Amino acid sequence: MLYLISLLCGVLFGLGLIVSGMINPAKVLNFLDVTGQWDPTLGLVFMGALAVAMPLYQWGLRRHSQPVAAEDFKVPKGRSVTLSLIGGSALFGIGWGLAGFCPGPGITSLASLLPGSIVFVIGLFAGAIAYRFLLAR
Amino acid sequence: MTYTMTEFTPWSGLVGGALIGLSSGLLLLLIGRIAGISGIASGLMSTNVREMGWRAAFIAGLLLAALLFPWFSGQPLPVDIQADLPTMAIGGLLVGFGTRMASGCTAGHGISGLSRLSFRSLAATATFFATAMITVFVVRAG
């Protein structure tokens, strides 16, 4: 059941990325290009996503002690703004601005079998492994 | 250098965004997990079978959506990559390293985190949007 729900949520998430245009680096980069040929679409993608997710999260976390089909909510507990939060986010933003992909669209676009997608996803995992390795030392 | 122009598509943006938000909300309400793609992807390298399983299923769902979409809509996946391969590889490395260091990406901090009203996620989201915009500005000015 856990796996089936997760699979269906993945399909829904992927369709959202495709329909919204978030999967398209040209569109993402034009959203980030505020001083140039600005395409405001991704602002609306965020608004649409938050308009649905925020009430569901607030209702779920405030009114319920556990999810429908699992024992507990696995929600991050950290509260402090740390150097690694800001530094990591800054590096992520640079990569996002270079490639036009963040993790979800990059992975979803693998289905296109475009060389750029494949190379991005290999980099994505290599970067994650590199961080884990660095942290373990 | 000129870059591909894209059209402002407010309705498909809102509808697609709502689907992303619905997926994120349902994942939390039904199985209590956060829809953060960077965490889900790196969690594939977990040794705990149950924790790896739901993540693998979610990633399979993403790919299934990308395979189903062209079949149902009769249109190819709208993916127009702008950068050359070395830039895509460096971009991927920075995204992979940075999102693990910051424990979240556009989905985990930008949607789930903001939906939980987390100040940490707000700081992360403001930071990656800022550096992404600066990066595009520098790349396109150069």
Q: What is the pLDDT of residues B65-119, one digit of tens each?
A: 999 999 999 999 999 999 999 999 999 999 999 999 999 999 999 999 999 999 9
Phi, psi of B48 (to 5 degrees): -80, 115
pLDDT at A32: 97
Taking an 8 Å cut-off on Cβ atoms, the answer to whether A103 and B106 are in contact is yes
Contact (CB<8Å) A97/B5: no
Would the CB atoms of A131 and B100 count as touching at under 8 Å? yes
Q: Which two tokens stand for residue B14?
A: 């809102």
Q: What is the DSSP letter of A33?
A: -
Minimal-distance CA residue of chain A relative to B98: A88
Per-residue pLDDT, A115: 98
Q: Tell me the HSE value of B100 on the side-chain side, using a 13 A CA sphere.
A: 21
Per-residue model confidence (pLDDT) at position A135 = 82
pLDDT of residue A58: 96
Whether pLDDT at B2 is above 80? no
Cα dist. B29→A40, A53, A127, B15 in Å?
30, 10, 31, 21
Evaluate whether B42 touches A69 at the Cβ level (below 8 Å): no
Count Cα neighbours of A72 within 13 Å in the Cβ-side half-sphere.
Answer: 3
The SS3 of residue A77 is: coil
Q: Cα separation of B130 and A88, whole Å? A: 13
Q: What local confidence, expressed as pLDDT, does residue A61 receive?
A: 92
B51 vs A102, higher pLDDT: A102
Predicted local confidence at residue A79, as pLDDT: 82
User: Confidence class of residue A1 from pLDDT cuts 50, 70 and 90?
Assistant: confident
Nearest by Cα to A30 from B4, B113, B30: B4
By C-alpha distance, which of A87, A85, A83, A105 is closest to A96?
A: A105
Report residue B33 as tokens: 């997990």
Rama region for A81: left / alpha / beta (φ>0; ψ in -120 to 50; rest)? beta
From chain B residues 97-126, the ones with a CB under 8 A of any chain A CB are 97-103, 105-107, 109-120, 123-125
Residue B79 parent element (H or E): none
Contact between A37 and B1 under an 8 Å Cβ cutoff? The reply is: no
> How confident is the model over B119-124, as a mean pLDDT?
97
Contact (CB<8Å) A75/B25? no
pLDDT at B131: 98
Tell which B residues from 35 to 94 touch A, by Cβ distance under 8 Å: 35, 37-38, 41-42, 45, 50, 53-55, 57-69, 76-83, 85, 87-94
User: Which is nearest to B99 in space by CA: A107, A51, A28, A48?
Assistant: A107
pLDDT (mean) for B29-50: 89
Interface test with A, best of B5, B6, B51, B117 (most A CBs within 10 A): B6
The pLDDT of residue B1 is above 80: no
Taking residue A69's Cβ as centre, other Cβ atoms within 10 Å add up to 13
Percent of residues, chain B, with pLDDT higher than 70:
99
ipTM higher than 0.90? yes
Tens of pLDDT, residues B128-141: 999 999 999 999 98
